[in-house]
Chains A and B, each alone.
Chain A
């Protein structure tokens, strides 16, 4: 992410006639993006209500957006909590490269915990077969890391428009000692008031961009000129087709049988999850403006290219109960 300098900041408002001479230099008022103001409010509640928050960073556009919002919420102070990446070991190399560069520029602390370690310790068993993915295994690594650092609030980039079960998620979502989500017993959230009171051992998942849609995120990235990993833009990639979806064939991570033919296609990714469960879409959108207009006209939902949701009608709800992001 670029460091925003004063002169780089875009202001669309017109200078009004100003009475007080001492503030004559100022533009009138900040933008009226209600979602941005809401997210900043939520970040500040996290910093005020919790002892040890952490921002769960995946290298995807949603968590990159979170980082920008956190910067805005606490300026001129630094973001008052670390970032944590649960690395499946199956990330797109572009994402990891991007992550490290961003962290260095921001000067924030990054914690990385690896799914590979959980596998080596025998805590989880690697899936096998055609649809093998490490996506589910992340949950164990995440819960262990929460316990290791005693995090009491984990900030994530989940949005309610992504998926039906997420549509029921609270902004402050309480998890028990086992990291579990009790969807039938959620705290009501009234007006702007957020209740972060918990017992020792519990933690709260916090979703500052709950009310954003995919298009809202992309429009924000465009307006704020936020740098994102290159795989979000159209590029040539060796791919193969399965179940009507396009999979990357550039690494050995996605299982490919011999009859699944490799072809070079112009593609981009709409989400950057674990490679083994993230399909690409055919696209020529190679700039942020083109991506935004592509999303605007899109006929397929964002998670339509995520095989992890297609396992069953209730796939996401089940994963969330178990402590998934």
Chain B
């Protein structure tokens, strides 16, 4: 079964939780007991309709304030695909959650309230999904029932959004507009009778039609070594397997590879998945690789194909999204975790802060606060083996750990 991960973005009251609830309800993914709980609570609160947001807002604080404050994961499936929705909050202060949700998603749904149209928040939602290079974006123009399913209103919002698209950095991002009413169910799963002027797909139809291979980020194969398997048993006396996940492309038995950082050359002898040997290790498979030669390989090293080397550098420039309440400061020391490889890092300079609503940059910055996005120069104590984020989503990103708190304090996209 194919698994498609979707991030959602919308402002408070744009109806994001309701849309998710509607997707669950119309795909018959809500079980009777969950539905009963929703009906009961909706009745208690005196609502005229079912409050589907109750299906997703998980934490007590959220139920009290009626808002979503953290990333929640929701699951549903059709006979064709399994879906995982990362439900991320839309307020200004929660940029970090949106970045987190988008980092693992191949598609995103941006919600716009048809009465309000494109607002500053919409710019942010689009900016972040574009920065993260999410391949497919659905712009769901919601609450169409409250604007009498007006085609003019829909077109006006669409054209405002298209203005925004002119400013994007990642131009290959595919964008689809759908007029919906999450509350009433128009064009979410089934086609609406109220929008005869709209000939496009419903949200679910569009998701169902996405080709998973096409929406995945493909680059060149990179194999970061997670763990060295040495059974030390009679039967596997000399076995030295390098366990890891293949990113970007595939590796084959017999491939000539280079081990980084030692630059030693060898050839892939076997590819194992559990106790079975295979010819190919496809993209995103967790395999165990053995090499023809006795090479010294440990965690954090990387196998790449000969002639296909990444950049090996101790200095790098990255777009950093800061996520911690302790600010990032010029001259500050941190731990950079690039895949499974950890190095020490010093902030050489913050070149400029980037306003994530397309309103420009700000120079002369010495510190970043939570939810800031900036271009940052880092110096590392050891070289890492990276690609640019635009060429390789996995090998072009890293997280920044604060050594004092051990928190994941930020994420970087290598320029």
- The answer to whether A213 and B58 touch (CB under 8 A), given A189-B100, A195-B406, is no
Of residues 27 to 56 in A, which have CB atoms within 8 Å of B's CB atoms?
A: 27-30, 32-38, 40-41, 44-45, 47-48
Given known A-B contacts A190-B99, A300-B32, A301-B33, A28 and B274 have beta carbons under 8 A apart: no
Contact of A37 among B63, B286, B397, B401 (CB under 8 A): B286
Q: Which residue of B lies closest to A42 (CB)?
A: B286
Tell me if B273 is interfacial: C-beta within 8 Å of chain A: yes
Among A37, A45, A47, the most chain B Cβ lie within 10 Å of the Cβ of A37
Across the interface, name the chain A residue whose C-beta is closest to B74.
A167
- Could you give, for residues 383-408 of chain B, a 1 whenever the CB lies within 8 Å of some chain A CB and a 0 otherwise? 00000000001100111010000111
> Given A30-B287, A47-B227, A164 and B56 touching (CB < 8 A)?
yes
Q: Which of A30, A48, A71 contacts B273 (CB 8 A)?
A: A30
In the assembly, what is the distance between CA of A71 and CA of B229, in Å?
12
Tell me, yes or no, whether B3 is within 8 Å of chain A by CB. yes
CB-CB contacts below 8 Å: B278-304 with A: 278-282, 284-288, 299
**Does B128 make an interface contact (CB < 8 A)?**
no
Shortest B247–chain A CB gap in Å is 8
Shortest CB distance A82–B (Å): 17
B31 and A40 contacting across the interface, CB-CB below 8 Å? no
Size category of the A interface is 35 or more
* Nearest opposing residue in chain A for B247, CB measure: A192
Asked if B401 and A48 make an inter-chain contact with CB atoms under 8 angstroms apart, the answer reads no
Contact A30 B276 (CB under 8 A): yes
Is B230's CB within 8 Å of the partner chain A? yes
B243 within 8 A of A: yes
Q: Which of B64-72, B151-159, B347-355, B361-369 participates in binding chain A?
A: B64-72
CB distance from B81 to the nearest CB of A (A): 11
Give B93 Cβ to nearest chain A Cβ, in Å.
Answer: 13
Task: Let me know if A317 and B58 touch, CB within 8 A.
Answer: yes
Q: Are B103 and A304 in contact (CB under 8 A)?
A: no
- Which B residues between 82 and 103 are near A, CB-CB below 8 angstroms? 82, 84, 96-97, 99-100, 103
Say yes or no: is A197 at the interface (Cβ < 8 Å to chain B).
yes
Complex CA–CA separation, A6 to B278 (angstroms): 13
Complex CA gap A78/B236 in Å reads 11
Given contacts A186-B70, A192-B245, contact A27 B406 (CB under 8 A): no
State in angstroms the CA–CA spacing of A271 and B401 once bound together. Answer: 38
A204–B339 Cα distance when bound, in Å, is 19
Give the complex CA separation of A41 and B286 in angstroms. 6
Q: Which of A18-26, A143-151, A255-263 contacts B (4 or more CB under 8 A)?
A: A18-26
Chain B residues with CB below 8 A from A45, complex form:
226, 340
Asked if B74 contacts A29 (CB within 8 A), the reply is no
Q: Which residue of B lies closest to A199 (CB)?
A: B406
B411 interfacial contact with A, CB 8 Å:
yes
How far in angstroms is the closest Cβ of chain A from B306?
16
- B253, CB-defined interface residue at 8 Å: yes
Interface size on B, residues (CB 8 A): 80
Nearest A residue to B235, CB-CB: A76
Judge if B73 is at the interface, Cβ distance under 8 Å. Answer: yes
Report B-chain residues with C-beta under 8 Å of the C-beta of A215: 77
Residues of B within 8 A of A177 (CB): none
Q: How far is the CB of A309 from chain B (nearest CB, A)?
A: 10
CA gap between A9 and B275 in the complex, in Å: 9
**Is B104 on the interface with A (CB-CB < 8 A)?**
yes
Please determine whether B401 and A23 come into contact, CB atoms closer than 8 angstroms. Answer: no
Q: Verify A23–B253 contact, CB threshold 8 A.
A: yes
Known A48-B227, A188-B100: A193·B273 in contact at CB below 8 Å: no
For the complex, is A73 an interface residue (Cβ under 8 Å from B)?
yes
Given contacts A30-B276, A160-B73, contact A193 B399 (CB under 8 A): yes
**B interface: dominant SS:** mixed
Question: When A184-B69, A317-B58 are in contact, do A4 and B278 touch as well, CB less than 8 Å?
Answer: no
Bound: A20/B280 CA distance, A:
12
Given contacts A37-B245, A184-B61, A213-B75, contact A299 B31 (CB under 8 A): yes
Residue from A47, A74, A77, A300 having most chain B Cβ neighbours under 10 A: A77
In the assembled complex, B231 has its CB within 8 A of some CB on chain A = yes
Question: Which residue on chain B has the smallest CB distance to residue A318?
Answer: B60
B358 interfacial by beta-carbon distance below 8 Å: no
Once the chains are docked, how many angstroms separate the CA of A293 from the CA of B48? 36
Quick one: CB contact mask for B242-270 with A, threshold 8 Å, 1 for yes? Answer: 01110000100110000000000000000
Q: Mark A73-95, 1 if CB is under 8 A from B, else 0.
A: 11111100000000000000000
With A77-B229, A197-B406, A213-B77 in contact, is A301–B282 under 8 Å at CB? no
A304, B285: Cβ atoms closer than 8 Å:
no
A contact residues around B96 at 8 Å (CB): 188
Distance in angstroms between the alpha carbons of A184 and B394 in the assembled complex: 27
Residue of B nearest to A302 (CB): B31
Contacts of A165 in B (CB 8 A): 58-59
A72 at the interface (CB under 8 A from B): yes
Least distance between A7 CB and chain B CB atoms (Å): 11
Question: Is the pair B226, A23 in contact by a Cβ cutoff of 8 Å?
Answer: no
- Chain B residues with CB under 8 A of A210: 73
Q: Is the CB of A20 within 8 A of B99?
A: no
Q: What is the CB-to-nearest-CB distance from A61 to chain B, in angstroms, rounded to a whole number? A: 17
A90 to B407, CA, bound (A): 39
CA distance A179 to B33 in the complex (A): 31
CA distance A216 to B84 in the complex (A): 13
CB-contacts of B328-353 with A (<8 A): 335, 337, 339-340
Can you name the residue of chain B whose Cβ is closest to the Cβ of A159?
B75
Known: A73-B243, A216-B82. 15 other contacts (CB 8 A): A4-B274, A9-B274, A26-B253, A37-B285, A44-B243, A75-B288, A77-B230, A78-B231, A190-B408, A195-B406, A198-B406, A213-B77, A299-B31, A299-B32, A301-B34
Query: Interface residues, chain B, CB within 8 Å of chain A?
Result: 1-3, 31-34, 41, 56-61, 63, 69-75, 77, 82, 84, 96-97, 99-100, 103-104, 226-227, 229-233, 235-236, 239, 241, 243-245, 250, 253-254, 272-282, 284-288, 299, 323, 335, 337, 339-340, 393-394, 397-399, 401, 406-408, 411
Binding site for B on A (CB under 8 A): 4, 6, 9, 11, 16, 18, 20, 22-23, 26-30, 32-38, 40-41, 44-45, 47-48, 71-78, 160-161, 164-165, 167-168, 183-184, 186-193, 195, 197-199, 210-211, 213, 215-216, 219, 298-301, 304, 313-314, 317
**4 closest Cβ contacts across the A-B interface?**
A164-B58, A30-B273, A40-B286, A77-B231
Write 20 A-B pairs (CB below 8 A) sorted by A numbering.
A29-B279, A29-B281, A30-B276, A30-B285, A40-B286, A44-B244, A45-B340, A74-B243, A164-B57, A164-B58, A164-B59, A187-B408, A188-B323, A191-B397, A193-B339, A195-B406, A197-B406, A304-B33, A314-B63, A317-B58
